[in-house]
Structure 1
């Protein structure tokens, strides 16, 4: 069950993975930050978000002094970097960088494209996100977002900015030592120590459980008596959801299992290494959204989805997307397509922009329905406009 575009940093994990379950007003013109040109003078960008709000972003450095880092105990307390995306007033703030140059360089090297185009180009990918933009007044549901193993959460920018544009606060987590490179305060670049330490199913269970604890801690620091974020008053603490890609999606379920404040969850193509409890999730809704292939169809090679389905005791949907790859639920295929590079869409795989469109539409409909109690018929049955999406009902 080895997926396309898995990072070389996961080489030690792949022998395990092969034997285990696979891990609205028009937007303003963008300002593209200066960058060296790629061949042909191309610039890369993400599709505009679909909601009526502008999108702001701020960064938080959070330290959980109650836990020692599981991957590097000598580093001390568990640390997280959190990108806070929020509904903002249009025309305020400054263009936000997609990633730091060093983060982009490490990512490109890891997927074997370090010599294809400059890291400066990836780091300045055009988005609609504005750093330190003025918040739009109101109170909004919170969605906690976690990326795939080995990757920074900047790979989920397209989803995060869309949710914020639709009226959500999004806490997008970078988990220390679990990506190929994430910048932390003090000029530190933390790399994927976890990628060299995860060698067994037990390690994957521990990593998934750790994601759940990280997500719950972020909720603590955003909604507690002394919140860590200056705009915490934007958050409606009674409307909280969790979602993630790959192990991040499994982490969302783990977070729900241990934290009743999280009212809804979604897993994008991740194996449930940490199983949904036999007693369920307290009748809370959960979305399975994955590839329509031999892995994540009912009865497929990843039995954790069938097991989770039987244990989910609230509203639930099992949706799979034809011709999607594991990374169709992230920004990667969009950017590769726009550069004309392999690994994006092709004659036999879903175009990157279409994958992002579907991810935004169905994840957005899910949180609209369960955190805002809005009718979203998109989740009730197949639609002619989205023939790629299969509704499974084992």
Structure 2
């Protein structure tokens, strides 16, 4: 785990899960295993200096995308003038920052930056993580800004990050999907994360931090659902009740509007489910270790495919997060409930493999490189199957290649 000055907290019941995953517990963000590592022996001044020098010189890198396409990246700033920001009403219209990843021609564009140094500094400071900001901010990505789009039409997947963390934490998943022939829209929600810079406003504070709990979670998730639906309106050019006309992205012709999916981590997973329940254009949804907003968000999925992928510690049947049990009963279409042994709440984000590269995998948990591979494999297989109609046997039951993944559907085949 990335070194943290805050105490280790394990997610437990839904209230505890919200306290850790939503309010920003450092432990949930900074470890890849379900249990805390043994405390290290006291270090001498020289040992501490050596460790500090090694951290300052570290070169982090996201996992190499597995597909044949190069990956392009661009950013879109959106404002929904029909809604005021729910956290800072005086700020005016609800604002969103969408980072788009798409198949691109090789050799075009310039390397994309993972985060700004200031954004990384604020995120690390917020979490009490002992790592130079330039190390996190300088993480090597595999996408290129201004790259020429590869010709064709591709399925679209909208991604929403966990509460209080920026969308950049889903970059590895987004790049892998784009390399496999998807357009991916990673959405940052104004005032809901630390370290995100909005055009003309700079880095916005996380005004929502500390204000989401068991009583407000459902409203926050449904708000994200409206955000994601608005992003879809903007990308497809169908603005409807929001007014306006025409797509906001000049390369929107890359998107096949008949093949749209949504996914998210933590609150982002709840938001993706809420968006799908309220928007028939979204054909399939994946929830990565997030509670469901309420029974209605699952019942409203109208027979569409759902992947529930979470930690074994909190999201096994009859586990800490009982919203999964209730959602499972309400789902009427294709569905899979899978858990990953040894995984921590943030094992489904870039933070797991980055921690592993710093030598801070939890010895009793899931190694970061395995966390990234499992997340990418199962999310990609899910959308391949339901947006492309491709057979993906890895979704049909236990796999020797991924022994950490357990399925809880009593009769998964043929549904």
TM norm structure 1? 0.89
The farther-off stretch of 187-196 and 249-258 is: 187-196
Q: Does structure 2 conserve the Cα–Cα contact (< 8 Å) formed by 1:37 and 1:43? A: no
Say if 2:368 is the partner of 1:352: yes
Q: Find 2:82's aligned residue among 59, 66, 70.
A: 66
In the alignment, the residues of structure 2 paired with residue 37 and residue 92 of structure 1 have an alpha-carbon distance, to the nearest angstrom, of: 35
Structure 2 residue matching 1:51: 3-state secondary structure: coil
Q: How far off its partner does 1:300 sit?
A: 0.8
Structure 2 residue matching 1:196: 3-state secondary structure: coil
Q: Find 1:92's aligned residue among 97, 108, 114.
A: 108
In the alignment, the residues of structure 2 paired with residue 381 and residue 335 of structure 1 have an alpha-carbon distance, to the nearest angstrom, of: 29
Q: How far off its partner does 1:89 sit?
A: 0.9
Q: How does 1:32-47 map to 2 (within 5 A)?
A: 38-39=54-55, 41-47=57-63
Q: Find 1:179's aligned residue among 169, 184, 193.
A: 193
Q: State the partner residue of 1:375.
A: 391
Q: Deviations over 1:345-376 (max 9, x none)?
A: 22211011110100000000000000011111
Q: Deviations over 1:303-330 (max 9, x none)?
A: 1000000111110000000101001100
Q: Does structure 2 conserve the Cα–Cα contact (< 8 Å) formed by 1:277 and 1:311? A: no
In the alignment, the residues of structure 1 paired with residue 138 and residue 297 of structure 2 have an alpha-carbon distance, to the nearest angstrom, of: 42
Q: Find 1:154's aligned residue among 168, 187, 198.
A: 168
Extract unaligned runs of 5+ from structure 1.
Answer: 24-35
Say if 2:403 is the partner of 1:387: yes
Q: How does 1:121-132 map to 2 (within 5 A)?
A: 121-132=135-146
In the alignment, the residues of structure 2 paired with residue 14 and residue 366 of structure 1 have an alpha-carbon distance, to the nearest angstrom, of: 27
Q: State the partner residue of 1:170.
A: 184
User: Relative to structure 1, is the Cα distance of residues 310 and 348 closer, same or farther in structure 2, using a 3 angstrom cutoff?
Assistant: same
Q: Find 1:111's aligned residue among 127, 144, 156.
A: 127
Q: State the partner residue of 1:33.
A: none
* Larger RCO (alpha carbons 8 Å, 6+ apart): 2
TM norm structure 2? 0.84
Q: Deviations over 1:11-68 (max 9, x none)?
A: 9x99982287976xxxxxxxxxxxx975373211011010110000000100000000
Extract unaligned runs of 5+ from structure 2.
Answer: 23-51, 238-244, 411-415
Say if 2:34 is the partner of 1:18: no
User: Relative to structure 1, is the Cα distance of residues 306 and 240 closer, same or farther in structure 2, using a 3 angstrom cutoff?
Assistant: same
Q: Does structure 1 conserve the Cα–Cα contact (< 8 Å) formed by 2:283 and 2:304? A: yes
In the alignment, the residues of structure 2 paired with residue 88 and residue 276 of structure 1 have an alpha-carbon distance, to the nearest angstrom, of: 39
Q: Does structure 2 conserve the Cα–Cα contact (< 8 Å) formed by 1:184 and 1:190? A: yes
Q: How does 1:1-394 map to 2 (within 5 A)?
A: 17-18=15-16, 38-39=54-55, 41-113=57-129, 116-198=130-212, 200-224=213-237, 225-277=245-297, 279-293=299-313, 295-341=314-360, 345-393=361-409
Q: How far off its partner does 1:230 sit?
A: 1.2
| Paired residues, number | 370
User: Relative to structure 1, is the Cα distance of residues 64 and 363 closer, same or farther in structure 2, using a 3 angstrom cutoff?
Assistant: same
The CA RMSD measured in Å over matched residues stands at: 2.5
Structure 2 residue matching 1:378: 3-state secondary structure: helix
Structure 2 residue matching 1:337: 3-state secondary structure: helix
Q: Does structure 1 conserve the Cα–Cα contact (< 8 Å) formed by 2:85 and 2:94? A: yes
